[in-house]
Amino acid sequence: MGAFPEFGPGVETHSLAAGGVTMRVVIEGSGTDVVFIPGGDQTAEGYSQQFARLADRFRCVSYDPRGAGDTRSPPAPWTIGDYARDCAAVIDAHCGGKAVVVGLSLGGLVTQRVAIDFPEKVSLAIPMGTAARIEGFTRDWMLAEIRLRERGVVLPEYFLATHYAAFAFPAKALHDPDLWEEIKPAYTERFANRDPKDLVDQWRACLDFDCREELKTCPVPMHVIAFSEDVQTAPSMCRVVSDLAPKGVFHEIPGLGHVSMTRHRPDVVAAKLREIIEGA
């Protein structure tokens, strides 16, 4: 069992060099170009189950971001603006210069930034599990995680799944014995093999992000997806984004957590994405 579900055999893999960054890019399907931006600590495989459900109608594109997978980039610090330029380069190289952009968590912040900085490249923005600025509990949790790693603390493998899965899935999912048997080894592998510096560098970029003023003049249609049981980015945080954006629309999916699009309820998330994109 890998850290993320694998892509199917129909996925193409490419290497893209742009702005001093060399990114691993994956593509599947045909139709409207949809670029999926991974969340923190995720590779492109974080969207493999979305590709499997959407590639019949859309040309699905994703990539490993700075600090994850096979992508190589200049040393940190990085900003969400840096991540947005990487995404813009993917859109130019593989989508003819314009695409629907979807992102979860860190990817949701990047989705907003791409829409603000490169509106001509984004036909529709769909940030999921997102915020205009990270505050309150989520900020304190992320700072605590960063400080642990900066002090050289290494979490033991037996602790990883029980710790991180609680921030990713709702209680009903965690107490589903069959699903837990799938999540436990995957989350152990995912975070046991995580370079602490990469985690710190990605998460600091998130904590430095604040686009509240710029959202007010963003011309791109922005459909914000919140998950009712999301501990990391509560629906109230997501609603701020949709309320600030002139063309913002808010969607809340009941019963899902921050990472329910993988393993828990990928079909529900895919159906919502299909509904939004086809209705745009």
Q: What 3-state DSSP class applies to 159?
A: helix
Q: Residue 149 maps to which CATH number?
A: 3.40.50.1820
pLDDT of amino acid 1: 47
C-alpha–C-alpha distance, residues 234 and 224, integer Å: 12
151 inside domain: yes
Three-state SS string over 81-127 comes to HHHHHHHHHHHHHHCCCCEEEEEECHHHHHHHHHHHHCHHHEEEEEE
Tally the domains of the chain: 1
Domain range for 190: 12-279
Q: What is the pLDDT of residues 186-244, one digit of tens each?
A: 999 999 988 999 999 999 999 999 999 999 999 999 999 999 999 999 999 999 999 99
Given a contact cutoff of 8 angstroms between Cβ atoms, the answer to whether 221 and 247 are in contact is yes
Q: Is 3 within a domain?
A: no
Q: Does residue 107 sit within a domain?
A: yes
The Cα–Cα gap between 109 and 15 comes to 24
- At residue 2 the predicted structure's pLDDT band, cuts being 50, 70 and 90, is low
| pLDDT per position as a tens digit, 145-197 | 999 999 999 999 999 999 999 999 999 999 999 999 999 999 999 999 889 99
With a CB cutoff of 8 Å and minimum separation 6, the contacts of 146 are 199, 200, 203, 204, 207
Is 1 part of a structural domain of the chain?
A: no
- The reply to whether omega before 77 is within 30° of 0 (cis) is yes
Q: Does the residue 57 lie in any domain?
A: yes
Using one digit for the tens of pLDDT, what is the confidence trace for 94-135? Answer: 999 999 999 999 999 999 999 999 999 999 999 999 999 999
Q: Tell me the whole-structure pTM to 2 decimals.
A: 0.97
Provide mean pLDDT across the span 45-52: 97
Is the residue at 163 inside a domain?
A: yes
